[in-house]
Structure 1
Amino acid sequence: MTTSLDLRILGPIEAYCDGIPVSLGGPRQRTVLAALLLNADRVVSIERITEALWEGSPPATSKTQIAICIAALRKTFKAAGCTKEVIATSAPGYLIRTRGQRLDLREFAERLAAAREATRKQGAARGAEEFEAALELWRGPALAGITSQVIQSQVTQLDEQRLVALEERARLRLELGEHGSLITELQNLVEENPLREQARGYLMLATYRCGRRAQACELYRETRRLFVEELGIEPGPHLQALHESILNDDPALSVRNRSAVPEPHGSVPAQLPANTAAFTGREPEIAVLDQLVSGAEADGGSAIGYLIGEAGIGKTSLATWWAHRVGHHFPDGQLFADLRGRDTEHKGDPYRILDGFLRALGVADERIPAEPGERGNLYRSILAERRLLLVLDDVGQHSKIRPLLPGSGRCAVLITGTNPIGEVLGSHAPERIELARLDEQQSLALITKIVGRERIGAQPEAAARLTKLCGGLPLALRIAAAKLTSKPHWTVQRLVDRLADPGQRLNMLSHGGLDLRSRLRDSYRQLDDIAARLYRRLGMLELSEFTVAMAASILELGAEEAENAAERLIDAQLLRIKNAGTPGNLVYEFPEFHRLYARERCRIEEPPEQDAELTERIVSAIG
């Protein structure tokens, strides 16, 4: 007899074999299983699992630890009687096979589709029963107890599907005249999700139908106060029209009139990540970004901004902080996507991102076209009628974001990335905003906001030295400040002493989920072979400045090829131009953090005897 596997993630993660609970081990094994089940029957790369487990700070043994977790899960399922291979190895990672097994997430999607079909063909009563069956699969918040931010970002989409299903069931029950028994459920739904306009409309109607006209009107006034204070906008036209009908005791609100039930309309997404803490500086850049708001208000198309700068310069922090600041100007919501442009294995698939955007905008699964072009057409049609803010973070290949851009309407788009945007966006003309490193005063202000004025003020000279060692790079400054905050027994001077050792500096600039070395590694990985070789060898020679002639000697190539390689490093934000001379006389500057990382790569990838040969060639080139 074949053992049946029952996998559940719509609540705490659980597994059963023929009805008998399976022990899934500790938090790490559960997180690995969660990452696989969220992508059931699809390969999840080792790098993606690593990100879910350690969120940017993996140990050197991360692959081994993941393999141990996979082996333990396989052993667990086999011991429980599952003879088939449940978790398979498939490059570049693993996949979990759920065909022939029960997965509550898949069953929920199937039952939702059945509920909508039943509503269309058999009416409200049958549809409500099917929605009830779908919602019974939920045992609490999806993947409760899994703390990984990577996992929770996907869970948010699942929770949105559940909320939409709850609202659809409520609409059907209102049509059936079940307003009395529905009020408590709607009150709980509104209390847990106060900005869901559809749920508030259903609660108003149910309250009115129970003979509480004044209370229904008070619900509207409370909604209006909340929306104005929290979002800076008025309730939508559907809610305003319902309020007007309640004031006038409109006979159309009777149970017999199905049109009285507010029809579901587009959701208002709010996808921005948590706001950036201790933000400081960037006033000129913020002034330019603010022009996107007025630009989006004008007719003729969306306004687009592009934040460009080196790794760790604070592009995402600025984009997130600014988006929260101006979010109230976009009453139809905010969409956010992390394209992971520097991650060579996880460049964002625009059409998968489109799927998520369409669901966030209230499009039911069955209405999302399978053909990518049609999907994009539907997305642009929806945006044409709305005023949204769209943030596309960490873009690597700009051509891939074209499907995500609005075709018309009054939207604003903010893109962040490291590469020049060129002409890849076609007819769109983005406003380019390049971020520089913070000066000493701004750096000190940032550290002081995080660590505290008293502690920084106690050692002003050490604090000034700390800002210099961090090079004005916001990521380095935040890591240093976070390290001091987590170690109240350390003086500022103690951290300075440790950072002063070049051999330990990158090791010290790592804390929690923040790690400078990993960001430098991401930038290095996107280089072609020749540019990467130039980068490494500059680190070997510890050069802070060099010319095209020196680059040619380092690479053993002609001047034109060497200059092209240096330009590609500039495009990747790994080099800077020190002077503005003629092309043949340019002097390039190699920032210190890159020199430190390049030296590490050189020791790993270049033969030791190369050092003396390169030095001799450079001396010859200078002479």
Structure 2
Amino acid sequence: MSVSLPAGELEIGVLGPLEVMVGGNPVDLGGPRQQVVLAVLALEANRPVPVSRLMDAVYGADPPSTSRVQVQICVSVLRRLFAAHGCGNDLIATRPQGYALQIPETRVDLRRFADLAAQGRRLRDEHRLDRAVEYYRRALAQWRGPALDGLVSPMLRPAADRLDEQRISLVEDCVELELRLGRHRDLVAELTALVEQHAMRERLHGQLMLALYRSQRQAEALEVYRRARRTLVDELGIEPGAELQRLEQDILTGNARVRPPEPAEPPPAEAVRTEPPPTEAVGAESLRRESVQPTAIGPVPAVPAAPGLLPTDIADFTGRTDQADTIERHLTEASPDRARLAVPVLVASGMAGVGKTTLAVHVGHRLANRYVDGQLFIDLRGQTTRPVDPSRVLERFLRVLGVPGTGLPETLEERAEMYRHLLSGRRILVVLDNAGDEGQVLPLLPGTASAAVLVTSRSRLAGLPGAGHVEVGLLDPLHSVELLSQVAGPERVRAEPAEAEELAELCGHLPLALRVAGARLATRPQWTVGQLAERLRNETRRLNELNHGVLGIRASISLTYDSLPEQARRLFRRLALLDFPHFSGWVAAALLDEPGTEAQDVLDGIADAHLLETTGSGRGVHSQYRFHDLIRAFARERLADEEPVAEHGPALERALGALLFLASAAHRTCYGTEHRHLRSDARRWPVPERLTGQLVSEPITWLERERLSMLAAVRQAAGAGLVALSWDLAQHAVTLYEMRGYFDDWRETHAIALDAAHRAGDRHGQAVLSYSFGSLFDAQRRFTEARPFLDTALDLFRSTGNEGARAHVLLHIAVIDRLAGRIDDAMTRCRQALAIFQRAGDLVHSAFALHNLAAIELQNGNPDGAHRVLTEALELSRRGGSRRIEAQVLHRLGETHLHRDEPMPAVDAYAAALATVEDTGDPIGRAFALCGLGTAQLRTGNVTESERTLHDALRAATSVGDRLCEAHVLLVLGELELARDEPRAATTYLRGALELFRDIGTPTFVSRTLELLTRAEGGPAGG
């Protein structure tokens, strides 16, 4: 290959922003199309790339008719550019149907990365770990950021994503070797940053946990696991994988696998003490046994043959591999510190019917060959009204261990002493099933670590010192169908696979329910699986259907329910009133009509009994809970049987009223005021002030957390005849919907509430929702559809004499008039709204009206007048405490400075607006602020910074679906390319802007875009 290169030689970088260096100096590649073409050629260096692929990379799936010519022009421009820098004309060679970049492999950072990584892997396979790490680190040093960062191309993005995946995978491989080399302390900071950047990568979480644990930071290691679990459950709805769960257990138990590696040069043999010699061990054990001989309980009999009280193992045991492995490791692989001191105890907890006993018995049989001196088992009946007394348990265990009735001590303490003595030094597994609380378990713990204890409970029993914990959850869909198959027969399930999956879903993937369903099918060969699924679809009959012989869901749940205090049972029943997908402590307070702290304690008690599941990642007042489907059905049965019907309506109204109270508080926190003219007379249940402040301190975060509950509440309120509550909840939810672009939720809630308001003849509700529907179409830039709703709202508010609400509508219509070029109409309506707000002393909405008035002044060519108006608006928004309105005023102020040819003050104003919207979590506001900032930067002459900001703005606008903002960004990008004398690139952007402005219906901006497009298409050939 002959390529003439200058002395400094050519370097091309794709592992970060696309970069070309000649002689150590950067080369300006020009417009984005040239950059995309070069990026594709560099990725395939020295291999031919068809022109069709280059066309796809530049234009996507819908290339213009001139796309082939445009690609050829890009190649021609690149060739001239490289030739001008002394790289020769043959750097990009023409090949049949395409082009190839001819360049030595070492001059592309991607090739260097691949070669160094391959060398590192070879050294790893040769067990030369130090050298392998060196090459891995050299490979990673080739990266400057995300691959091809900043390039917008549908075809390049997947390739860049694959490169980023290779990078992070190599990081993980490198860290694994460094952990094996004992460099854990050096890795903590790096891994902490990586986990923040790649929150879904379980391997990185595990490596950070290992590095922290080996650095004597066990608590932090376990906190990493908890954060990882919350993220995975919250974002993906899945639990961490088996490997990460196993690592957590290894850290909890101090398993040898997670200890730091031995030093490469071991210390002298005489300095190392491992295990005591056998004679010393025997002597110590003999002394220990002699020292615990009791004095008050008489002679202790010899232990007979090993007891075997475990029930038979379950032949159709399904799934639970990870939990079974975890339990087995915890009970058999004690840490060095615990090896001869503490008895290993593990608590397997979970809801009724989840299969805790089945799992415990199965693991017990797996461990039988390890605990050769026997297995003890007892059902403590902890959830019944008559749990087994520990003294009676000890009586049974002592008799099995050979103590005659005449030799049994009287008191619990004496029996426990004899029990511990008889188990001392013996390898016995004790399985305590269905424990109610710690008090039942503590007297039954052996005294030495030769024995082990496995406890099952519907509570976590967190008060057992040193105990490990395993949460026994629902089966996954695959194992649910497998269990059905084993109980009902594989042929039945194979014949109706879809119906079997539905049946498993209707059973809530609860093992007991699946066993009942399978047993019913097994005893009714004439039934199809689909028939039973059909019977279970009716929730009111579901618990009746899931009953067979001694198996029954209702009876199983009843045991737990009956053990709850009366207040907890009342709350449990009332929670079934709600159609919410989840609920927080404030819901409990409203249902019980009691202060928040006490109600939260009651709710936690229900969750501790596994009648509720915790969900999401919130903590404290933000904790959330939900029903399992079958437990919800049980709760609704008890609600109907035990709760007076007369109390149902008031309790539901309190809960919905509390949600409205909090939604109003969140709105006030966002805007600094409330739309008091738009509110209903629905009764609001006042959540305590301190709790309200904690809940809505970050209002959008709270509204996001309650988003699904808001939707359910609007629907339920409408169905219950609470019409005012329904529409008021719907219009308060707009605080979230508008800021986050949840247009489907906006439309659905308002359709439900508006229909209810029409049926009830609620004219105020109809007016508010018509106005809000108009706002929805306004937010979607569908102004033609917005106007009829706004006109309807205006007429309704005028007929009811609601001047304040009419002012809000007038402002919205004024915005539409302004964008449509009806400036005089916009000015008139804006001034009318401002006068109404000023008479009412409404600072925030006066500021908003002034902000809109300033926009009209700018459109009239009066930036000085706009500046005066905005100065007043900024003061009012700050006095009113509305950061959102303040951000909008700052944005308009930036626009005003640009009209006054004051680019630097404009940069400052837009930067202040950007900081405010980022602080308040407003993604649409962020897109507009970035667009304004990029425009101001362009006016200062900072083209590079402007381009970066504008592409950020374009990504932000498209991600939230704001077409008006997207159009503005494309317009400014067109200006930028014209400033660079790149008319072809400018034309692409401007045509996109023109299409959007025409579709939205904004003639003023259509005219501006057409002016620039004429310049671009009539300008000199560029690029």
**Short-chain TM bin:** 0.5 to 0.7
Distance of 1:264 and 1:365 partners within structure 2:
15
Compared CA separation, residues 454 and 557, structure 1 to 2 (3 A):
same
Counterpart of 2:368 in 1: which secondary structure?
Answer: helix
1:570 Cα deviation after fit: 1.1
How do 1:136-535 residues align onto structure 2 when only pairs under 5 Å count? 265-295=303-333, 298-344=339-385, 346-423=386-463, 425=464, 428-535=465-572
Instruction: Name the stretch that deviates more: 456-465 or 288-297.
Output: 288-297
**What residue ranges of structure 1 are gaps of 5+ in the alignment?**
1-262
3-state SS of 1:284 partner: helix
* Counterpart secondary structure, 1:312: coil
- Cα displacement (A) at 1:396: 0.1
Measured in 2, the distance between the counterparts of 1:354 and 1:584 equals: 42
Deviation at residue 499 of structure 1 after TM alignment: 0.7
Equivalent residue letter for 1:589? R
Asked if the contact 2:313–2:365 (Cα under 8 Å) also holds between the matched residues in 1, the reply is yes
For residue 302 of structure 1, report the CA deviation from its aligned partner. 2.0
Unaligned runs of 5+ in 2: 1-300, 661-1023
2:634 partner SS = helix
What residue number does 1:574 align with? Answer: 611
Over 3 Å counting, the alpha-carbon distance change for 1:264 and 1:613 in structure 2 is closer
Per-residue deviation, residues 429-450 of structure 1 (Å, max 9, x unmatched) = 1110011111111111111122
SS class of match (2:369): helix
Q: Is the 8 A contact 1:579 1:587 kept in 2?
A: yes
Deviates more, 1:263-272 or 1:405-414: 263-272
Task: Tell me what 2:588 maps to.
Answer: 551
Contact 2:307 2:375 in 1 (8 A): yes
Question: What residue number does 2:785 align with?
Answer: none
2:434, 2:456 within 8 Å by CA — same for their partners in 1?
yes
Letter in 2 for 1:315: K
Structure 1 residues 77-88: aligned runs within 5 Å? none
Tell me: CA distance 1:328–1:464, structure 2 relative to 1, closer, same or farther (3 Å).
same
Cα separation, 2, equivalents of 1:411 and 1:265: 15
Name whichever structure is richer in helix by fraction: 2
Q: TM-score, normalised by structure 2?
A: 0.34
Q: What is the root-mean-square deviation of aligned Cα atoms in Å? A: 1.8
Structure 2 residue identity aligned to 1:348: V
Is 2:344–2:449's contact at 8 Å kept on the other side of the alignment?
no
> Quick one: distance in 2 between partners of 1:350 and 1:548?
35
User: Is 1:605 aligned with 2:642?
Assistant: yes
Task: Tell me how far 1:285 sits from its aligned partner.
Answer: 0.7
**Native 8 Å contact 1:309 1:315 kept in 2:** yes
Q: Contact (CA 8 Å) 1:267, 1:360: kept in 2 or not?
A: no
CA distance in 1, matches of 2:399, 2:585: 51
2:342 partner SS:
coil
Matched residue type, 2:343: S
| Distance change in 2, residues 1:408/1:459 (3 Å) | same
Q: Distance in 1 between matches of 2:656 and 2:406?
A: 68
> Residues 265 and 287 of structure 1: is their aligned pair in 2 closer, same or farther, counting only changes over 3 Å?
closer
TM-score by length of 1: 0.55
> Does structure 2 retain, via aligned residues, the 8 Å contact 1:269–1:334?
yes
CA drift at 1:542: 4.3
In structure 2, how many angstroms separate the alpha carbons of the residues matched to 1:598 and 1:569? 12
Amino acid at match of 2:426: R
Letter in 2 for 1:578: T
Distance in 1 of aligned mates of 2:398 and 2:620: 48
Query: Which one has a larger percent strand, Structure 1 or Structure 2?
Result: 1
Q: Deviations over 1:47-89 (max 9, x none)?
A: xxxxxxxxxxxxxxxxxxxxxxxxxxxxxxxxxxxxxxxxxxx
Q: Which amino acid aligns with 1:331?
A: V
1:277 is displaced (CA, Å) by 2.9
Offset from partner CA, 1:289-345 (integer Å, 9 cap, x none): 11144236942232111100011110000001111121121111111011000001x
Query: What secondary structure, in the 3-state scheme, does the structure 1 residue paired with 2:625 have?
Result: strand
Superposed, 1:587-606 pairs within 5 Å as: 587-606=624-643
Displacement after TM superposition at 1:356 (Å)? 1.0
CA contact (8 A) 1:544 1:591 kept: no
Distance 1:334 1:582, change over 3 A: closer
Distance in 1 of aligned mates of 2:530 and 2:550: 24
- Find the aligned partners of 2:583 and 2:303 in 1 and give their Cα distance: 60
CA–CA distance in structure 2, aligned partners of residues 325 and 621 of structure 1: 52
Distance 1:380 1:472, change over 3 A: same
**Quick one: which amino acid aligns to residue 485 of structure 1?**
A
CA contact (8 A) 2:585 2:596 kept: yes
Distance 1:326 1:378 in 2: 25
**Over alpha carbons, which structure has the higher Rg?**
2
290-299 or 579-588: bigger deviation: 290-299
Say which SS state the counterpart of residue 316 (structure 2) adopts. Answer: coil
Equivalent residue letter for 2:379: D
Q: Which amino acid aligns with 2:550?
A: G
Give me the whole-angstrom Cα distance separating, in 2, the residues matched to 1:578 and 1:372.
Answer: 41
Report % sequence identity. 38
> Does the residue aligned with 1:541 lie in a helix, a strand or coil?
coil
Give the 3-state SS of the residue equivalent to 1:327 in structure 2: coil
CA distance in 1, matches of 2:302, 2:615: 58
The equivalences for 1:17-28 within 5 A come to none
Once the 2 structures are TM-superposed, how far is the Cα of residue 422 of structure 1 from its aligned partner?
2.1
Residue 555 of structure 1 deviates from its aligned partner by 0.8
**Cα pair 2:460 2:469 within 8 Å, conserved:** no
The secondary structure found in structure 2 opposite 1:598 is helix
* Structure-2 separation of matches of 1:618 and 1:486: 45
Alignment partners' CA distance in 1, 2:334 and 2:618: 39
Secondary structure of the equivalent of 1:408?
coil
Structure 1 residue 360 displacement after superposition: 0.6
Q: Structure 2: how far apart are the matches of 1:413 and 1:454?
A: 40
- Counterparts of 1:279 and 1:475 in 2: how far apart (Å)? 12
1:384–1:595 CA distance, 2 compared to 1 (3 A): same
Quickly say closer, same or farther: Cα 1:543–1:523, change in 2 above 3 A. farther
Q: Deviations over 1:224-251 (max 9, x none)?
A: xxxxxxxxxxxxxxxxxxxxxxxxxxxx
| Aligned residues of 1:444 and 1:467 also touching (Cα < 8 A) | yes
CA apart distance, 1:264: 6.8
Equivalent-residue separation in structure 1 for 2:549 and 2:334 (angstroms): 38
Larger RCO (CA within 8 A; separation ≥ 6)? 1
Q: Which amino acid aligns with 1:280?
A: T
**How far apart are residue 585 of structure 1 and its match?**
2.9
Residue 480 of structure 1 aligns to which amino acid in structure 2? A
Shift of 1:268: 1.5
Report if aligned partners of 2:309, 2:377 keep a CA contact under 8 Å in 1. yes
Contact 1:268 1:360 (C-alpha < 8 Å) held by counterparts: no
The SS at the match of 1:290 is helix
Secondary structure at 2:433 match in 1 = strand
| Matched AA of 2:433 | D
